[in-house]
Amino acid sequence: MHRHHTLLKPQILILCAGLGLWFLRPTPAFASWVVAYLLAWAIFNYLPGLRRGLNLEAPIGWVGFGVALVVAGPLLALHQRIEDLGWEEGLLGLGQNLEHRLRLERLPALAPPTVFTDHPQALYAHAPAARSVTLELGAGVRSLVGISLGEGLFRFEYDPRRDGSPSGEDAALDALLVIDGEVHERSLRRIRWQAHPRWIRSAPERGLGAAVSEETDEVIIVSRDGLVRRIPVGDGPTDATFLGNGARLAISHRYSPDLWIVDALTGETLERFRLGPFQARLAVSPQGDALAIARAGESPGIDLFSLPELLPLPGIELFHTPDGLSFGASRRTLVYSSRSDRALFKLEASDGEAGSPPWGPPSPLWLGRPAVTLAASVGGEKLYVAVTDYRPDGESHRGNHFIQDQILTIAVEPWEVVGQLMTGRRTPAQTQTGNIDSGISPMGFAPRQDGSVLVAFAGSDEVWELPPGLAAPPVVIAGMDLELGAPHGVADLGEGYWAATSPGGGVLAVYSPDRELLHFIAVSPSDSELDSAPEGSLARQDLVLRAGELAFFEGARAGISCQSCHLHGGTDESPHDIGQTPLLPTLTMGGISGTSPYLRDGSFPRIRDLNDHLAETLYRGYSHESPSRRWDLETYSESLPFAVNPRLLEGTDLVKMRAGVEAFAKARCVFCHTFPALTNLGQHPVRTLFPDYGADQPPEAMVDTPSLLGSHARSHFLQDGRADSLEEVLGEFNEANRHGDSAALDSEEKNALIYMLESL
């Protein structure tokens, strides 16, 4: 008689009882719901008396009330565990992963999803069976003709200086892929960096400092009186140093092939020397009689000039890419750092015997971690080197997430470490045991005539003044006295004046001998100017990138920043214990856009989750709250570009590359390293791909399929970096022939494949 007033009672009863059973042990997993439901079903199925005992014909109101009472607790428990449930079931970040995968699956596909307006880059399209492909990046950019590499893969070489920058102010860029005359619209993100005054050198005798902004192709000259001028230079200035008592400036470039000599005051270009692209840091000998230019690229080395006449001297070919560079006490001694070797190397001029090379073999000084930055004392006898750990045996530290910022003093002549200053310090700002709020991430040095040294700390927004011989505690300039976020460069302007740079903030500042801020020189728009721009504009994106960059360098309360391991946004090439075995070398962050999930096992679906899990939890959070930090960091991280492949500027053998693509397809690498991003963004059990190696790994160990774009910049391969070369990846580390069918390739095809991978 109450049929129209009642619910489907058995079903409702089972659901409610299932929820109740789940509530007894509320495991955040869908499977536990099913188990609870089945248990409830079994109870009511096999105990019909119980079912009848409950008043099944009760009016709907009472049934509803009872149901509400029963389900309230479980639903509350579920609400509290919703994020855990997302993690457990792989649903957290699923949207982003699907978005990235759909973008790559939608043919014709384009990768990477970002276009940078400050440097040359390569983009790839996958358009099977296409004969001709062009890419239109909008008004202001000429059509880019795709170079066919075979198997439907096309490459576009885009240089904003040569081809033009997209017009308009929107961060979103509607690109058009024209495949055999048919137009396909694809959405890209445009990254335009604001001015980044980073490294700064000085001529104290003239009170001048010069900072380069690689992103905006300019050198910024400052004096004790403030800004002198901004000088437009070639593509990607990497360093600038004063010559001849500050009258001239030498400027090295990453992408332009020329070393520029510029009049420091007028900005007029005096000379250019063609050295080839990928020039890095500069060094002038203490006597001012030689200039050295570190050179990366396909043939790394050091170029030399005699001063003041600027006559080329015989250069030095190197086996490793030089990072930092300095002279010793004379032009006969050179020191350079190598990130991949995590060491310093000293070169000494030989005695000039007939037939002998002008420079002896490099003498290593193992550090265990790469030099973050280095600078020589004024006389060149000593070297100051910032590192995140010091291991004289060159081995990796086995401590979990181990970072111990320190400054090493190295005597160049005996070539040994003579001083070690731990910089990470506790302060009255400490809120719990062990917090470190000072001395995080030393980034720039300025040795002064009196033997004191200025040190910029990017992680704790400080500049320290280290007294000569460390005879007294350092003087710390921070907070409102400094007014710089993540300072990088610091320079002695003479007579006690000094300057510092903040690339993230886009500012330079000049300080008095009393350490008072004299001039605040903004070379990029202020936050409020950027904030006033429309939503979705480049300016608004710049604001987020700025916040993200500052957060990237900001030290967490454990004394660790993202930069600590991801050196300069890349990698410190060092194996770390990050809770997994074996130790894993740091991955570069360049080019990660559109490749969710992250980490070697793909365990983090989004960058923001890394911030939550690592920085905010393991590293104990930050000294100041920022609700947007996780988003800012994510946007910044996804805006870091791949390292530019030297072959993009120095030339690629297309015949060999096409043969490599053919071999890539023949070995079925495309099965997982799918075109055009060369990843399908999937994860696999390690044992499935590497049965021999995986036998020693936990069975549940997974490996994320990495993008092979940017492979040229890696010095170690496979998920734990166990392969030192691509030859090893295809050979001894693929004996089971499960990681691609490399057994199907002959040696010529393997060579072509390796060449192709190194050219991406």
Partner 1 sequence: MTPQRRAGLVCWILAATLATILGLRGFSLSFSLEREVWWLKASGYLALSSLFLSLSMTPALRFQQFLAMGGIPKASWLAFRRSFGITAAVFGTLHAALVWTTYLGGSWRVLFASAYLRAGLVSLVILLALAVTSFPRLTRRLRVGLWRELHRLSYVAALFLAQHLLLSPFAPKGRSLWLCVLLVVILSLRALPGRSPFRPKP
Q: Please give the residue ranges that form the binding site for partner 1 (CB under 8 A).
A: 10-11, 14, 29-31, 34, 37-38, 41, 44-46, 48, 88-91, 94, 98, 101-102, 105-106, 667-668, 671-672, 680, 682-685, 687-689, 691, 698-700, 702, 705, 737-738, 740-741, 744
- Closest contact distance (angstroms) between CB of 746 and partner 1 is 15
- Closest contact distance (angstroms) between CB of 710 and partner 1 is 22
H-assigned helices in 145-236: 160-163
Q: Which is nearer to partner 1, 30 or 319 (CB)?
A: 30
Taking the C-alpha atoms of residue 251 and residue 268, their distance in angstroms, rounded to an integer, is 12
Q: Which is nearer to partner 1, 72 or 102 (CB)?
A: 102
Amino acid at residue number 292: A
Angle between helices 9-24 and 30-46 (to 10 degrees): 130
β-pair type (114-116, 182-191): parallel
* Residues 191 and 165 sit within 8 Å (Cβ to Cβ): no
Taking the C-alpha atoms of residue 756 and residue 693, their distance in angstroms, rounded to an integer, is 26
Q: Which is nearer to partner 1, 379 or 685 (CB)?
A: 685
Which three-class secondary structure state does DSSP give residue 693?
Answer: helix
- Closest contact distance (angstroms) between CB of 104 and partner 1 is 9
Q: Which is nearer to partner 1, 45 or 80 (CB)?
A: 45
Q: Which is nearer to partner 1, 520 or 671 (CB)?
A: 671
* Residues 209 and 223 sit within 8 Å (Cβ to Cβ): yes
State in Å, rounded, how far the first CA of the chain is from the last one: 76
Q: What is the dihedral of CA 638, 643, 647, 650, to 10 degrees?
A: 120
- Closest contact distance (angstroms) between CB of 637 and partner 1 is 23
- Closest contact distance (angstroms) between CB of 134 and partner 1 is 25
Q: What is the dihedral of CA 167, 168, 174, 175, to 10 degrees?
A: 0
- Closest contact distance (angstroms) between CB of 223 and partner 1 is 57
Residue reference for tokens 């905010």: 616
Closest CA to 371 of 337, 411, 419, 328: 337
Tokens for 239? 């360093």
Tokens for 139? 């008004």
Contacts of residue 641, defined as CB under 8 A and 6 or more positions apart, other chains included, come to 114, 116, 119, 121, 191, 590, 591
Q: Which is nearer to partner 1, 623 or 683 (CB)?
A: 683
Taking the C-alpha atoms of residue 275 and residue 91, their distance in angstroms, rounded to an integer, is 52
- Closest contact distance (angstroms) between CB of 561 and partner 1 is 31
Q: Which is nearer to partner 1, 268 or 696 (CB)?
A: 696
Q: Which is nearer to partner 1, 458 or 702 (CB)?
A: 702
Q: Which is nearer to partner 1, 150 or 682 (CB)?
A: 682
C-alpha separations of 548 from 362, 377, 509, 544, 626 in Å? 39, 34, 21, 6, 11
The values of phi and psi at residue 251, to 5°, are -130, 120
Please name every residue paired with 210 in a beta bridge, in sequence order, or none if there are none. Answer: 201, 221
* Residues 498 and 208 sit within 8 Å (Cβ to Cβ): no
* Residues 221 and 258 sit within 8 Å (Cβ to Cβ): no
- Closest contact distance (angstroms) between CB of 88 and partner 1 is 7
Q: Which is nearer to partner 1, 214 or 749 (CB)?
A: 749
Which three-class secondary structure state does DSSP give residue 469?
Answer: helix
- Closest contact distance (angstroms) between CB of 185 and partner 1 is 17
Q: Which is nearer to partner 1, 498 or 675 (CB)?
A: 675
Q: Which is nearer to partner 1, 554 or 704 (CB)?
A: 704
- Closest contact distance (angstroms) between CB of 705 and partner 1 is 8
Taking the C-alpha atoms of residue 560 and residue 21, their distance in angstroms, rounded to an integer, is 44
Q: What b/e sequence results for 717-746 when a residue is b if at least 16 CB atoms lie within 10 Å of its CB, and e otherwise?
A: bbbbbbbeebeebbeebbeeebbbebeebe
H/E run at residue 103: helix 94-105
Q: Which is nearer to partner 1, 656 or 684 (CB)?
A: 684
**Cis bond before residue 582 (omega within 30° of 0):** yes
Q: What is the dihedral of CA 325, 326, 328, 331, to 10 degrees?
A: 100
- Closest contact distance (angstroms) between CB of 691 and partner 1 is 7
Q: Which is nearer to partner 1, 567 or 661 (CB)?
A: 661
- Closest contact distance (angstroms) between CB of 681 and partner 1 is 8
The values of phi and psi at residue 427, to 5°, are -135, 170
- Closest contact distance (angstroms) between CB of 590 and partner 1 is 24
Which three-class secondary structure state does DSSP give residue 551?
Answer: helix
- Closest contact distance (angstroms) between CB of 14 and partner 1 is 5
